[in-house]
Amino acid sequence: MNETEQRRKFNSLVLPHLASALSLARWLTGDATDAEDVVQDASIRAFRAVETLRGEQPRAWLLSIVRNTAFTWLAKNRPKSLLVTDDEKVFEQAEAQMFATPRDGTAETELIAKADAENLQREIAALPIAYREVLVLRELEGMNYREIAALLQIPVGTVMSRLSRARALLVQRIGRDQAEERKPK
Amino acid sequence: MKSRDTDLMLVNAYVDGELDASATLAFERRMAKDKTLQAAHGRVVALQNALAAKLRPAQISDSMQQRIATAFGPSTVPKALRFDWRQMAASAVVAAMLGGGATLVGLQRFAPSNSFDAIVAGHERSLLAATPVDVVSSDHHTVKPWFDQRLAVSPPVPDLAAEGYALVGGRVDIVGGKPVPTLVYKLRQHLISLVAVPHVGGSDEQAVGKFTTRDGYSVLTWPGSDFTYSAVSDVPKSELEAFAAKWRATGPAE
C-alpha cells in the first residue's frame, strides 16, 4: 500500500471514530489531557497499521488500539490504577441488593433517575478498570457482548459477569449518593 | 451465591437484548411471577436510562481533530502539531517510524486535500465497511437527533421512501478534517450518500448543481441554506440529478 492510499484509508476509516476513541481513553485514564495523549499515540499506531484493517468494524478496530495504548500508558504512568482488587464481598452485597424488594424499591429507581452527570461520572470512574471498560463499551459505545468480548479478548461469559457486577455496584453507589444528598439536614 | 449471579446476568442480557427469542420468552414468563427479578430488572433499566440521558459522548475538540487530520491527512506544514517529541521518542512506535525512514513530515506531501476526494472516500469506506451507516434507521426522527447529539448539527432528513429512495441511516464522514453528517439513501440496489457540509452565510436556493466524477462515482454538489450538499453514488448522472431534485423539492421533514 502506498502512502497516498494509506492516508486515504486512515482518513475515511479511522478519523470518523476519533470521538469514540477519545471517549474511551477518557474513561480509561480518567483525565481529559492524558486521554488526548493516548489518542494521539493510538492514532500513530492506527496509521501505521491501517493497511491491515480488512473486514473488521473500523470503530472496534480503533478502540482496541486505543485500549491497548491506554493500558501501556497506565502501566507506565499510573501502575496503581491497573491493580484490580476483586473484593468478592463488595460485589456479592451489591448483587444481593439488586434483587431486594423493599417498600422503597420504587424510590431507589427514582433516586437513580435523579442522579446528575457528575455523580454518574464519579461512580463510573470509581469502578475497577476491568469492570469500567466493559460498562463503558456497552453503555456508551453501544457495543454488544460479542463485540466487547472480541475487543477485550475475553470470553462472552466474562463480559456478562463483569457487566452485571459493574451495574450492580453502580446502582448501589448512586442510590447511596443520592440518598445522602437528599437527607434532610 | 451462584444462582443469583446467573440470574443477574440473565436480567442484564435481557435488558441488553442479548437473549434469543425462546430465552427471552422463558425469562419474561419467569419474571412475571418473580418480584425479585422484577426489582433487579427495574434497577438495571433505571441505571441504563440515567446513563443514556445524562452522559454525552465526548466531543472531540476542533483543534485535536485538526491536529490528527493534519498529521495524517491534508498537506500542510505540521507546525500545529503539538506532539511531545521527547515522550514520543521514548516509544517504540517512533523508533520504528524513524527506523523505517518514514517521518511525519515526510508523509505530509501525500494528502487528498480536495473535498471531493474526501466525499468519495467516505462513500467508498461505507461500501467497504460491514454496514454503510453508523446509525441504522429508516426513521428521520431517529437519524436527526443522532446527528444533533454527535455533531451538534443535523441536516434536514426528508422522507423519500414514497419516491423510491429508502432512508438507510446516517454516518459521520470527514471532509476538510472536520466531521460532517452524511445521510444514506437506497435506490434499488444502489446506495446514495448525501454529505452535508455546514457553511456560514446564505446561499442561492435555486442554484444549479455542479456535477463531477471521481473514481467512477458520480458526485453532484449544490448549495443549501445552511449546508453544501454533495450526493455521491454509482448511479448515472441523470438518476443522481433526479434524486437531488426530489430531495430539494421535498425539503425538511420535521
For residue B227, the one-letter residue type is: F
Among A23, A56, A81, residue at a domain's last position: A81
Nearest CA in chain B to A103: B39
User: In this predicted model, what pLDDT tens digit does every residue of A124-165 receive, in sequence order?
Assistant: 999 999 999 999 999 988 899 999 999 999 999 999 999 999
Mean pLDDT by 10 residues, chain B (254 residues): 83 93 93 93 93 82 80 47 44 44 35 64 76 76 79 84 87 82 88 86 58 82 84 88 88 54
Does residue A115 sit in the same domain as residue A159?
A: yes
Reading the block at residue A167, the C-alpha cell is: 451495574
CA of A128 to nearest chain B CA: how many angstroms apart? Answer: 18
- Indicate whether B56 belongs to any domain: no
Does residue A46 sit in the same domain as residue A69?
A: yes
Helix H or strand E segment including A173: helix A156-182
Q: Is A160 on the interface with B (CB under 8 A)?
A: yes
Does residue A100 sit in the same domain as residue A176?
A: yes
Among A28, A48, A81, residue at a domain's last position: A81
Does residue A7 sit in the same domain as residue A73?
A: yes
Q: Which of A98, A120, A144, A147 best probes binding to B when mutated, by most B CB atoms within 10 angstroms? A: A98
The interface predicted TM-score (ipTM) is: 0.91
- Indicate whether B27 belongs to any domain: yes
Number of Cβ pairs closer than 8 Å across A and B? Answer: 187
- Indicate whether B215 belongs to any domain: yes
- Indicate whether B121 belongs to any domain: yes
Does residue B213 sit in the same domain as residue B127?
A: yes
pLDDT of residue B10: 95
Give yes or no for residue A102 having a pLDDT over 70.
Answer: no
Contact B35/A101, CB-based, under 8 Å?
yes
Q: What is the CATH number of the domain that holds B177?
A: 3.30.200.100
- Indicate whether B158 belongs to any domain: yes
Does residue A10 sit in the same domain as residue A76?
A: yes
How many structural domains comprise chain A?
A: 2
pLDDT of residue B82: 39
Give yes or no for residue A65 having a pLDDT over 90.
Answer: yes
Q: For A52-70, what is the mean pLDDT? A: 89
Q: What is the CATH number of the domain that holds A178?
A: 1.10.10.10
Contact A164/B171, CB-based, under 8 Å?
no
Q: Is A134 on the interface with B (CB under 8 A)?
A: no
Does residue B67 sit in the same domain as residue B41?
A: no
Nearest CA in chain A to B173: A16
Does residue B75 sit in the same domain as residue B183?
A: no
Q: Is B86 on the interface with A (CB under 8 A)?
A: no
- Indicate whether B90 belongs to any domain: yes
Distance of CA B227 to the CA centre of its chain: 17
Distance CA B84, CA B71 (A): 13
Does residue A19 sit in the same domain as residue A56?
A: yes
Q: Is B64 on the interface with A (CB under 8 A)?
A: yes
Does residue A74 sit in the same domain as residue A131?
A: no
Q: For A169-173, what is the mean pLDDT? A: 94
pLDDT of residue B94: 44
Helix-helix angle B21-33:B35-54, to 10 degrees: 120
Tell which wins on pLDDT, A42 or B110: A42
pLDDT of residue A106: 62
Contact B73/A55, CB-based, under 8 Å?
no
Helix-helix angle A32-49:A18-29, to 10 degrees: 130
Report the phi/psi class of residue B157: left, alpha or beta, with left for phi > 0 and alpha for psi in -120 to 50.
Answer: beta
Identify the domain containing residue A177 by its residue range. Answer: 88-182
Q: Is B16 on the interface with A (CB under 8 A)?
A: yes
Nearest CA in chain B to A121: B55
Q: In what order do the strands lie in the sheet with B165-175?
A: B135-136, B165-175, B178-187, B190-198, B227-233, B217-223, B210-214
Residues of B in contact with A45 (CB under 8 A): 93
pLDDT of residue A88: 84
DSSP notation for chain B: -HHHHHHHHHHHHHHTT-S-HHHHHHHHHHHHH-HHHHHHHHHHHHHHHHHHHHPPPPPPPHHHHHHHHHHHSS---GGG----HHHHHTSHHHHHHHHTT--HHHHTT-----HHHHHHHHHHHHHHSSSS-SEE-S-HHHHHHHHHHHHS--------GGGTEEEEEEEEEEETTEEEEEEEEEETTEEEEEEEEE-SS---TTPPPEEEEETTEEEEEEE-SSEEEEEEESS-HHHHHHHHHHHHHH----
Contact A22/B64, CB-based, under 8 Å?
yes
How many structural domains comprise chain B?
A: 3
pLDDT of residue B49: 92
Tell which wins on pLDDT, A77 or B204: A77
Tell which wins on pLDDT, A21 or B208: A21
- Indicate whether B138 belongs to any domain: yes
Nearest CA among B189, B175, B202, B194 for reference residue B244: B194
Contact A7/B46, CB-based, under 8 Å?
no
Contact B68/A19, CB-based, under 8 Å?
no
pLDDT of residue B200: 63
- Indicate whether B181 belongs to any domain: yes
Does residue A92 sit in the same domain as residue A178?
A: yes
Residues of B in contact with A57 (CB under 8 A): 129-130
Contact A64, A151 (CB under 8 A): yes
Does residue B100 sit in the same domain as residue B184?
A: no
pLDDT above 70: percentage of residues in chain A: 94
Among A61, A81, A101, residue at a domain's last position: A81
Identify the domain containing residue B26 by its residue range. Answer: 2-49
Q: What is the CATH number of the domain that holds A10?
A: 1.10.1740.10
Contact A16/B5, CB-based, under 8 Å?
no
B198 contacts: CB under 8 Å, gap ≥ 6: B153, B180, B226, B227
User: What's the whole-model pTM score?
Assistant: 0.62
